[in-house]
Amino acid sequence: MGLFSKIRDLFKKEKTPLLDAGKEYQQNNNNGNYLKNPIYLKDANGNNTIILNSIKYDNQFVYQDGTKTNIMVAQILKQTNIGEESHGLFRGDREYIAFEMSDGMAVNNEILMQKIATYYSYEQQHNMFQNEECKFIGYIDSNPGNYQININPNIEKYVKENLSEKIKNEANIENAIRQEEIIKNHKEDISASKKYRNNLYQETRRYMEENKKQKNDRIQNFYLNQKFVQKSQNGKTYATLEGIDVINGDYLHVSELNKVGKDETGTYVYTAYLEDSAEKNYVQNLGNGMVRHSNKAVPVCFTTQKRIEDILAGQNRQEIYNVLSLFSNKEVAKNNNGYLNFIGSLDENANIKQNNQNELTSTIKQTISKLQEQFYQKTMQERNGQGHNNVK
């Protein structure tokens, strides 16, 4: 049994599927490729897809009896498949084969396609390429039953001495062009990236400048208003205020403002929760009919000889500013015991007094101490998952 008879028997098990020849081939297109589209063929072991990417005319030989044959060059792309996954194409997976065919034989010959796949697969299985730039696989005729190897040594020599060098040079040129494209695209990517970063920087800068302007405008046009008053289940009255943080220009939210009581000198004690945000209308409703503070709010207490209700009713600009300044003091967190922070006092004219608890009466001190203990117990309950409880 001949060598290619064995190959033929192998291919009888699974004929290589070919597409409609009338749709897939054309003669002498612009780039010399006889194929309109790549043709996908399975190799002998069925694991690799052979992609016949192009078939181009190279030269013509005339035998002594006047017979003319054409030397054709086919480009093969290999695509390895593992299971259902395709692992793509790479420049190194291109191989070139040359073959001889009768002058006048149509390239859209199904037998020609079948034999190209057969010969190429055999060469692959037996590692016969040996790093050649272009492998000559011999003469291909139109007889479907003839798989006999027929290699003209003169043509094989021509392929090795001429086509291999030509293909190698073309590959080098192509690689150089691709390298230039990569460098060009890289430079364009860098330029685009720089442009994007610059635009982002400019947009961020404009945003920050606009945000800074808005905050400065808020500070210049500060206010403190009462939004609503609500009563808890224990009958105590809590107010919710909204104003401006006169230090950073954010919106200042005062929740659960509670007038605890006053001492023998007429000094009032208040508790509240303070929080800044970028949003104007910012409240947190935690149910039970009560709008409560968020977890980020700072619990504070302070004293004043003029009721907050009276200051809000009078809307004296200086008095409002003094209250906002007291509420906006961010340094209180440094001495924060985590439960209730004493932030200072206001006198009878709503001016800020020095933050010194030693000047407070013993009644006020005892009240603040009890309040801090209550807030401590309340915080522990919330941390243990018992949720918000009404302020005692």
Name 328's Cβ contacts closer than 8 Å, sequence gap at least 6.
Answer: 245, 246, 247, 248, 252
Residues 176, 39 share a domain: yes
Residues 175, 58 share a domain: yes
Residues 231, 172 share a domain: no
DSSP 44: T
Number of CB atoms found within 10 A of residue 160's CB: 16
Residues 175, 270 share a domain: no
* Residue after which a domain boundary falls, among 148, 181, 214: 181
Name 294's Cβ contacts closer than 8 Å, sequence gap at least 6.
Answer: 275, 284
* Residue after which a domain boundary falls, among 181, 216, 247: 181
Residue 50 lies in a domain: yes
Q: Do 235 and 258 touch, CB atoms closer than 8 A? A: no
Give the total number of structural domains in the chain.
2
Residue 204 lies in a domain: no
Residues 124, 234 share a domain: no
According to DSSP, the β-strands at 298-304 and 341-346 are parallel
Whether the per-residue pLDDT at 164 is higher than 70: the answer is: yes
Once rounded to an integer, what is the mean pLDDT over residues 225-236?
82
Residue 310 has what pLDDT?
95
Whether the per-residue pLDDT at 87 is higher than 60: the answer is: no
Residue 248 lies in a domain: yes
Residue 198 lies in a domain: no
Residues 263, 171 share a domain: no
Once rounded to an integer, what is the mean pLDDT over residues 68-79?
84
Residue 362 lies in a domain: yes
Closest-CA residue to 325 (of 346, 298, 294, 348):
346
Calpha distance 315→175 (Å, rounded)? 79
Residues 333, 259 share a domain: yes
Residues 148, 72 share a domain: yes
Residue 338 has what pLDDT?
60
Residue 392 lies in a domain: no
Once rounded to an integer, what is the mean pLDDT over residues 225-237?
83
Residues 241, 132 share a domain: no
Once rounded to an integer, what is the mean pLDDT over residues 99-126?
79
Residues 240, 118 share a domain: no
pLDDT digits (tens, 9 = 90+) for 296-354: 888 899 999 999 999 999 999 999 999 999 999 865 655 555 678 888 899 999 999 87
Residues 259, 350 share a domain: yes
Which percentage of the chain shows pLDDT scores above 90?
26
Residue 194 lies in a domain: no
Mean pLDDT estimate for the chain: 78
Angle, vertex CA 208, rays to CA 207 and CA 210, nearest 5: 65
| Greatest mean pLDDT among 47-51, 218-222, 280-284, 385-389 | 218-222
* Residue after which a domain boundary falls, among 181, 205, 236: 181
Residues 87, 32 share a domain: yes
Higher pLDDT, 151 or 149: 151
Whether the per-residue pLDDT at 162 is higher than 80: the answer is: yes
Once rounded to an integer, what is the mean pLDDT over residues 214-239?
88
What are 299's two structure tokens? 């619990």
Whether the per-residue pLDDT at 6 is higher than 50: the answer is: no
> Domain of 360?
224-386
Residue 214 lies in a domain: no
Calpha distance 240→225 (Å, rounded)? 9
Higher pLDDT, 10 or 293: 293
- Residue 130: band (very low, low, confident or very high) from pLDDT cuts 50, 70, 90: low
Once rounded to an integer, what is the mean pLDDT over residues 82-95?
51
Whether the per-residue pLDDT at 242 is higher than 50: the answer is: yes
